[in-house]
Structure 1
Amino acid sequence: MHSFLKNTSFIGNQWVQGNSNDILRVKNKYNQSLLAEISYLNADQLDSAFDVAQIAFEQMKTWDAGKRSELLFKLVEALKEQQESFAQLISAEAGKPIEYAKAEVNRCITTLEISAQEAKRIQGEVVPMNFDQGVGKNAFTQRFAVGIVGCISPFNFPLNLALHKIGPALALGNSVVLKPSPYTPLTALAFASLIQKVGYPAGAVNVVICENDVAEKILTEPRVKVFSFTGSPQVGWELKNKALKKKVILELGGNAAVIVDHSADIEDVCEKLIPGAFLYSGQICISTQRCYVDSNVYDEFVEKLLEAVEEIESGNPANKKVINGPIIDESHVERIHEWVQEAVAQGAKVLTGGHILDEDHNIYAPTILTDTSPDMKVVSEEIFGPVLILDKTDYFDDAIELVNDSKYGLQAGVFTNQISQMKYAFNKLEVGAVLMNNVPGFRIDHMPYGGVKDSGLGREGVKYTIEEMSEPKLLIF
């Protein structure tokens, strides 16, 4: 794997050593061994990334759709050749269970394939004109690339969430300046070598490793026309305020909830809820954090769920059976534990877990809490850890209200076998997507994905991102 690692930024198809005095140390998240040291770029070096990205855009915006599509398909083939290496790297630097890391790389291939397909399907609309002052006229819109897309991607899907920005941008002919998470920059840098390999012009995609104060130039640089951020709501909304006149796409957090109706198949719910809440230690924006169960089936549900939790494998993410590996950083382990302890002090009851399982490897025990109240942090905030809140409700209406009693609204799951409940939930739930008889953690890469309230702005999913990253121009004749 080590020959695969790149430890410098990637600007204009060149590997660029940072001129800052500070160094980013990237560690294996399970055993804390050093994977790479990367010197940070200074502000002038980031400016040079904008310069080459602008030159690349001027070239790529003239390409026909076939050429844009062809190069994306070449990226697909290049990624397929190195699938295993990418999965191993994601597992090491993100602490992601290896089978889940392999699944991520498969999804990355899909994301790029969809981008290559959508490059040939970018379309406008015919605008009805033939009435009043428009009699005898025709009009249509066409979507155009806009320029540089500035991106910040998170640690938890270090390749696929970067590609949800890069793929649509390249499908249009936009260029990209990407700042990956400091926890997981190596995967994005490894992908940059594929950009160089398949023949993109210098500056088409740039991966910049810089500190936050330098990275803020992405927000103020006028040549950056779109800003796309995936990460925490606190940071996302603050950055939006600094993005001035840019188009902004925000994919932020959630505290996703599941409702279990009395008509649900309890075994099916438990089977889906275990990975839904505990896969990758709950470090997924749409991981199930809250679960509201009809009081008629609550006792049976708790019994079956606790049995299922006993089967969860925790430990080294390189082990194929492990689903609950390390939390990304020691500070987050401590935060998760503090929130759990605070909830218990306020009256919550621990059904299982509630402690740090392995301090040396930053592993938190799969935890289920009940008897919670809406103002506890474990309920109201995004815990981003292997913690599930489980409470009973007497009425379906009450469950809907509890799900909506949140500043977030990304996705929600509803387990029911009553079509009336399905329709009612779909109309009432304040979320970006409602999943019937499934957990909120379901996403495929072409669907419109995003949330309401503090969970975001705009939609991802390749076709929908292309719309966000382009401008429609109207022709009247």
Structure 2
Amino acid sequence: MLLKSAVTLTRPSVSLSKMALRCYTQLPLKVPIKLPNGIEYEQPTGLFINNKFVPSRQGKTFEVISPSTEEEICHVYEAREDDVEDAVNAADRAFKSGVWSEVDPIVRTVALNKLADYIEKDLDTIASIETLDNGKAISSAKGDVQLVVNYLRSCAGFADKIDGRVIDSGSSHFSYTRRQPLGVCGQIIPWNFPLLMWAWKIGPALATGNTVVLKTAESTPLSALYVSQYIPQAGIPPGVVNIVSGFGKIVGEALTTHPKIKKIAFTGSTATGRHIYQNAGANLKKVTLELGGKSPNVVFSDADLKSAVQNIIIGIYYNSGEVCCAGSRVYVEESVYDELLEEFKKASEAVKVGNPFDESTFQGSQTSQTQLNKILKYVEIGKEEGATLITGGERLGNKGYFIKPTIFGDVKEDMRIVKEEIFGPVVTVTKFKTVDELIEMANDSEYGLAAGIHTSNINTAFEVSNKLNAGTVWVNTYNDFHHCVPFGGFNASGIGREMGHEALDNYTQVKAVRIKVA
């Protein structure tokens, strides 16, 4: 059953045609919201600057829609260029004061652990906000929040281990290096994992002593604003973390071109990533980009097929398919192709799609009408290209942005549904005969974010893992993240890495010191 009402509305409902409505009335800095599961809370609506929620300078706001009901949740303040200037200046003052960058690193460790504690204690509310705002299944949202907690604690553990080294350059000099923070970091996060990407961005930046101005996705700003109230409570000083809600063409552009911002971190589409890279390059900023993907998920004949099918489902229908590393191209060894496809079709048709607040739901809604329309358009493209629609390909219900899990067979490698990122619960299935044929097809992509391999032969696992052009390869599992394991892409899937020790390199620079002693 789909939701009847997402929230207790705090202002009159508006039509969907005004989804990005900007208004000029004075909006409270917090509004009461009652969630479908009965949880009541106060939602911050302001920009978070200098450890305070404040209205935007121009008083503009925009509407936030619940994608599972198409109803208004609330309005939040919309940042513009002058608000970005305020946030950057606050971050710059905080960095230069040394209140965060120059303290004993254990102070950062304690603060990040406290932030993780606050979030963990409030896990149910935060996960429910994520489900309301993004449309993802509540079970997935709870998993996301736990990953947030784990990653912040992991970053806390790294905070006092950012070490340089002593270099033996002969007895006449004492030479050493130290790793220093960059300064103000501009960060832009996507709408598919709003809070998890918030943590992936601020965690390593804060652990290494930087300050942050972060832009939320305009369609999913609520969870990042909500957890920001814990920043001062955790002991993080004013100006260290600043959150601005707004639109990419205004706020994103201001961040990527601002002279005081020393580094840009972005997660989103490859097309936008290229634009950001150009902007940042013109100002010689350090850049990390986690971009799109069209990841292969491979099943060999010796695999446990039932387990493989479940991993394929997790790979493509988890988070409604709105996952940059989704296993959207499935390759199956010819001898088990028919059997695998039959099992996969049955399992796909059994996936529960609908009310994201139902604990038994696996696939919630798509995050926006725009994304739903894009997915349905690709379904039509697949049909026109001559692929066989095995199952799904239709909108589910007439309220909320739901779509049935979708499988295409009889595809050719030059089809758009094979080449282009759809970013939804749509998968193509292709057969292969040899490892060489598989590698050629799997690597024939501009992307290189992730891949999956299903086999009982460890030699096959090693051989194929080493040959696939992918930043992450999962074997007999999929979408299996860990806070200590780096994540990022090859080729058009990005630059740099999130998580693990590697993420810290994105937020530090090396200084060499050479002292003459003789």
- TM-score under structure 1 length normalisation: 0.96
CA distance 1:271–1:41, change in 2 (3 Å): closer
Equivalence map 1:402-441=2 (5 Å): 402-439=441-478, 441=479
Q: CA deviation at 1:259?
A: 1.1
- 1:328 matched to 2:367? The reply is yes
Counterparts of 1:220 and 1:177, CA distance in 2: 13
Q: Deviations over 1:197-244 (max 9, x none)?
A: 223221110001233333112112122111000011110111110012
Counterparts of 1:301 and 1:210, CA distance in 2: 45
- Aligned residue in 1 for 2:126: 86
Which among 382, 406, 417 is matched to residue 378 of structure 1?
417
- 1:293 matched to 2:332? The reply is yes
Q: CA deviation at 1:64?
A: 0.8
In the alignment, is the contact (CA less than 8 A) between 1:261 and 1:396 conserved in 2? no
Equivalence map 1:6-405=2 (5 Å): 6-20=44-58, 22-58=60-96, 59-130=99-170, 136-215=172-251, 216-243=253-280, 244-405=283-444
Q: Aligned AA for 1:75? A: L
- Aligned residue in 1 for 2:512: 474
Identity percentage over the alignment?
33
CA distance 1:193–1:339, change in 2 (3 Å): same
Counterparts of 1:418 and 1:377, CA distance in 2: 33
Q: CA deviation at 1:84?
A: 1.0
Q: Deviations over 1:382-413 (max 9, x none)?
A: 11111111111111211111110111000101
Q: Deviations over 1:244-271 (max 9, x none)?
A: 2000000011011111111111111012
Of 311-320 and 326-335, the range deviating more from structure 2: 326-335
SS at 1:245's partner residue? Answer: coil
Counterparts of 2:338 and 2:291, CA distance in 1: 34
CA distance 1:127–1:358, change in 2 (3 Å): farther
Of 224-233 and 25-34, the range deviating more from structure 2: 25-34
Of 95-104 and 267-276, the range deviating more from structure 2: 267-276
CA distance 1:316–1:76, change in 2 (3 Å): same
SS at 2:128's partner residue? Answer: helix
Of 160-169 and 33-42, the range deviating more from structure 2: 33-42
Q: Deviations over 1:126-157 (max 9, x none)?
A: 43434xxxx65443321111111100011111
- The unaligned stretches of length 5 or more in structure 2 are 1-31, 34-40
Q: Deviations over 1:296-351 (max 9, x none)?
A: 11111112112212320010100111111111111211111111111111110011
- TM-score under structure 2 length normalisation: 0.88
Give the CA RMSD over aligned residues: 1.5
Which among 498, 510, 513 is matched to residue 460 of structure 1?
498
In the alignment, is the contact (CA less than 8 A) between 1:169 and 1:469 conserved in 2? yes
Counterparts of 1:342 and 1:269, CA distance in 2: 28
Q: Aligned AA for 1:338? A: K
Counterparts of 1:343 and 1:139, CA distance in 2: 61
Counterparts of 2:200 and 2:308, CA distance in 1: 30
In the alignment, is the contact (CA less than 8 A) between 2:349 and 2:391 conserved in 1? no
In the alignment, is the contact (CA less than 8 A) between 2:47 and 2:55 conserved in 1? yes
Counterparts of 1:462 and 1:50, CA distance in 2: 27
Q: Deviations over 1:143-193 (max 9, x none)?
A: 111111100011111111111111111111111000000111111111111
Counterparts of 1:117 and 1:455, CA distance in 2: 28
Q: Deviations over 1:442-474 (max 9, x none)?
A: 221221110011100011114222111111111
SS at 2:399's partner residue? Answer: helix
SS at 2:390's partner residue? Answer: strand
In the alignment, is the contact (CA less than 8 A) between 2:87 and 2:242 conserved in 1? yes
Q: Deviations over 1:22-63 (max 9, x none)?
A: 431111110122222123123222111111111111221110
Q: CA deviation at 1:369?
A: 0.3
In the alignment, is the contact (CA less than 8 A) between 1:19 and 1:40 conserved in 2? no
- The unaligned stretches of length 5 or more in structure 1 are none
Q: Aligned AA for 1:261? A: F
In the alignment, is the contact (CA less than 8 A) between 2:133 and 2:220 conserved in 1? yes
